Structure 1
Amino acid sequence: MRLVTVRPAVIRPSKKRRLGRRITLAVVVLLAGLCVFQFVRPLPDASVRLQLAELPQAKAATLNWPNNARAALAANGYGMLGTHGSTAPLATASIAKVIIALCVLEKYPLNPGEQGPTITMTWRDRALYEEQIQQNGSRIAVRQGMQLSEYQALQALLIPSANNIADSLAIWAFGDHPNYARYANDFLQRHGLISTKVGSDASGLSPTTVSTATDLARLGLIARKNAVLMEIAGQKSVTLPFAGKHTNYNRALGKAGINGLKTGNNEANPGALLFTTDAIVSGHSIELSGVVMGAATLQDALDASVALAASVTDDFEHLTLMTSRQRVGTLTTAWGVEVPIRLKDSLSLIRWKEQAVTARHTIQPAIGTSAQSLGVLSVRAGEQTASSILEITEPASGPSWQWRLTRFR
């Protein structure tokens, strides 16, 4: 008898069942991968909303403008603060001497304490002096062979307003008057004083040298940058070789803070003063330049300039617009958590009242889960600006796992 081994039947899954298992496995792998992807992919940027208080608007200034003259006022760091009266060019009179002083100092610069090169008077300089006697112009006595340092010549130019020294300096520094006029008019163009023109003399006695109140106020700001010129313009008197002692025509010096610059009067412009002063606002000094021109007399121009200078300070104001750590906005994360946006530093500035305050900002993309800088907030009034960093100091908590799994962006 023979034994027979019976093997159990192998039941093979059907093709349909095998396909189902594969699909199930693929779905599981796909879901697992999707979960991992949702957890590891970068979080989206938050949205930012700034909430700023209303900023100060412009106010009317209360300057004491002259009744019957032209005037203008400018400040370093603020630009032109205001103008009054006609804007047409008018003879500068002796304010033209500020132009030749700047041109000479540009070509032959002096540092404080220096006398500079020596200028020897010739027969031509004596003739210029005698010419001013005939024209009844302001002058100092000179003689052939007399010597002045450059510094002394500038003193004679600006303090007793010597017309003859203006023309002598033009010849000494530039060779003759036409060369000086070309240099001076180029100087004016380079500095944006496009309504000012040097005419037939260097002193301003001739009405052919003209300017506007706006240009002359700007000229004063240019002059303020030269320490030697300003030192001389602030001196009340000078004693010169041969010529003796002379008093400054600018009798407004020391009044209402006026510390310079130059008087002027001729037939076309009987009374003018280009003046400089400083406004002290909350301990800060603001450099100003102003001019009164076309007044009936020189004394009228001096009085009007003092009144104008005295009225300036009240039209500046120190503003603290926002404080350090102040909340100025909200960052909202993609998952809905809100955190405050704060200023790192306070924002304050000194503004001229007629200049409105505006704000602008730059924002960098951020998620919001870490303390960080977000950008910069800046405020401006005219040319004055202040800026502070915008930052998050209280970062948001991270998203939940449910949000991570179900997020769409």
Structure 2
Amino acid sequence: MMWAVVLIASAVGGCFGSPMGEANTTDGGLAAGIDLPWPEDGQTSVMVEGLGDLGGKGEREPVPIASVTKVMTAYVILKEHPLKGAATGPVIEVDRQAADESSSREESSAPVREGQRFSERQMLELMLIPSGNNIARLLARWDAGSQEAFVVKMNRAAARLGMTHTTYTGASGIEPTTVSTAADQLRLARQVMKNPVLRSIVAKREVTIPGVPGTIVNTNTLLGRSGVIGLKTGSTTPAGGALMWAAEAEAAGRTWLVLGVVLHQSAGSPPATGLQAALDRSRTLIDGVRASLDSLIAARAANEQDR
């Protein structure tokens, strides 16, 4: 059973409060003194719910985040149109723009046809699992009338979450002007994993949706490995590879939720190369954190005794 522990602000301040442009190499985090396999380039932030901030590595300057953007798109959609339990939500019709964009060779998309009707839950699956840019923009238009109006909502949500180094300029992440930091995106990851609907969708390795050909496979190939239960990939040439991830780990007789964000891996390389780098480096880090959990728990206990 997953334990959901809300940390007091002082326990996570190091992870969420790094100034923009400052190199944070685990200073102030529980992982200080513990040899974790941090990625050498880009930027990374990690925490364990119930333990706190493990710190991070890399400059805290905002960088393009590619399709990790879709996590905020889904978050806003579900804030505006919440789903409970197994509810599928309202029906949304595919418009001509989304259908035309489904054949694009320049970006990831979901194969849909004009006039098809899918539930809100199915649309979220089409956006998050195969990373359908066309569906992200369709959801934005459905909710707010235009992508531009929806982006205003995204930035307001980011501000409410304290994501002070984040700027959204589109719903899909294709725009290199959508930028953020690993620490900011980690704030969002915590919120997403508290939402049962989002949590269930990002955990799916594949899905079959009537009207959509074949089996839709998740771009996050770490699912089911190293305890990974989510979250979202991203990759473009400017952004490199990115991964917001959630993993479970067993220690001290309970299950812990480990959350992390890796950004700007092999930036400037082809998207597939960057994504593979983000996946590989994330898995190495996840394995390192899971193997070090007993030491991290001991460090937390020692910190509490010193107070």
Same fold (TM over 0.5): yes
Whether 1:181 aligns to 2:151 is: yes
TM-superposed CA distance for 1:192, in Å, is: 1.1
Whether 1:305 aligns to 2:282 is: yes
Residue 173 of structure 1 aligns to a residue in which SS? helix
For residues 352 and 186 of structure 1, the distance between their equivalents in structure 2, rounded to whole angstroms, comes to 39
- The answer as to whether partners of 2:110 and 2:127 remain within 8 angstroms in 1 is no
> Which structure is higher in helix share?
2
Which consecutive residues of structure 1, in runs of 5 or more, have no partner in the other structure?
1-56, 319-349, 360-378, 381-409
For residues 221 and 358 of structure 1, the distance between their equivalents in structure 2, rounded to whole angstroms, comes to 23
Partner of 1:238: 207
Rate the CA distance shift 1:58–1:112 in 2: closer, same or farther, 3 A.
closer
| Residue-by-residue CA offset, 1:197-225 (whole Å, 9 max, x unaligned) | 111x2100111111101112222111100
Partner of 1:161: 131
Structure 1 range deviating more: 118-127 or 180-189:
118-127
Residue 297 of structure 2 aligns to a residue in which SS? strand
For residues 84 and 356 of structure 1, the distance between their equivalents in structure 2, rounded to whole angstroms, comes to 23
Partner of 1:203: 172
- The answer as to whether partners of 1:61 and 1:354 remain within 8 angstroms in 2 is no
Residue 263 of structure 1 aligns to a residue in which SS? strand
TM-score (norm 2): 0.82
For residues 142 and 271 of structure 1, the distance between their equivalents in structure 2, rounded to whole angstroms, comes to 26
Structure 1 range deviating more: 139-148 or 236-245:
236-245
Structure 1 range deviating more: 237-246 or 248-257:
237-246
* Residue type at the aligned position of 1:234: A
Which consecutive residues of structure 2, in runs of 5 or more, have no partner in the other structure?
1-29, 267-273
TM-superposed CA distance for 1:58, in Å, is: 8.7
Partner of 1:151: 121
For residues 58 and 197 of structure 1, the distance between their equivalents in structure 2, rounded to whole angstroms, comes to 29
For residues 85 and 190 of structure 1, the distance between their equivalents in structure 2, rounded to whole angstroms, comes to 25
Count residues in correspondence: 270
Whether 1:72 aligns to 2:41 is: no
Partner of 2:15: none
- The answer as to whether partners of 2:31 and 2:55 remain within 8 angstroms in 1 is no
TM-superposed CA distance for 1:309, in Å, is: 0.6
Residue 265 of structure 1 aligns to a residue in which SS? strand
TM-superposed CA distance for 1:227, in Å, is: 0.8
For residues 256 and 137 of structure 1, the distance between their equivalents in structure 2, rounded to whole angstroms, comes to 29
* Residue type at the aligned position of 1:267: T
Whether 1:253 aligns to 2:226 is: no
For residues 165 and 137 of structure 1, the distance between their equivalents in structure 2, rounded to whole angstroms, comes to 12
In structure 2, which of residues 263, 277, 280 is the aligned counterpart of residue 293 of structure 1? 263
- The answer as to whether partners of 2:95 and 2:138 remain within 8 angstroms in 1 is no
Residue 35 of structure 2 aligns to a residue in which SS? coil
| Residue-by-residue CA offset, 1:156-175 (whole Å, 9 max, x unaligned) | 01110000000000011111
* Residue type at the aligned position of 1:300: A
- The answer as to whether partners of 1:58 and 1:354 remain within 8 angstroms in 2 is no
TM-superposed CA distance for 1:153, in Å, is: 0.3
In structure 2, which of residues 2, 25, 34 is the aligned counterpart of residue 61 of structure 1? 34
TM-superposed CA distance for 1:116, in Å, is: 0.7
* Residue type at the aligned position of 1:188: A
- The answer as to whether partners of 1:94 and 1:205 remain within 8 angstroms in 2 is yes
TM-superposed CA distance for 1:59, in Å, is: 5.8
- The answer as to whether partners of 1:91 and 1:211 remain within 8 angstroms in 2 is yes
What is the aligned-residue identity percentage?
A: 35
TM-score (norm 1): 0.62
In structure 2, which of residues 250, 260, 264 is the aligned counterpart of residue 280 of structure 1? 250
- The answer as to whether partners of 1:69 and 1:292 remain within 8 angstroms in 2 is yes
RMSD across aligned C-alpha pairs, in angstroms?
A: 2.1
In structure 1, which of residues 99, 123, 128 is the aligned counterpart of residue 72 of structure 2? 99
For residues 317 and 114 of structure 1, the distance between their equivalents in structure 2, rounded to whole angstroms, comes to 39
For residues 105 and 232 of structure 1, the distance between their equivalents in structure 2, rounded to whole angstroms, comes to 12
TM-superposed CA distance for 1:107, in Å, is: 0.7
Structure 1 range deviating more: 64-73 or 167-176:
64-73
TM-superposed CA distance for 1:246, in Å, is: 1.6
For residues 65 and 225 of structure 1, the distance between their equivalents in structure 2, rounded to whole angstroms, comes to 26
* Residue type at the aligned position of 1:215: D
For residues 218 and 77 of structure 1, the distance between their equivalents in structure 2, rounded to whole angstroms, comes to 15
TM-superposed CA distance for 1:352, in Å, is: 6.4
In structure 1, which of residues 351, 355, 363 is the aligned counterpart of residue 297 of structure 2? 351
For residues 58 and 181 of structure 1, the distance between their equivalents in structure 2, rounded to whole angstroms, comes to 36
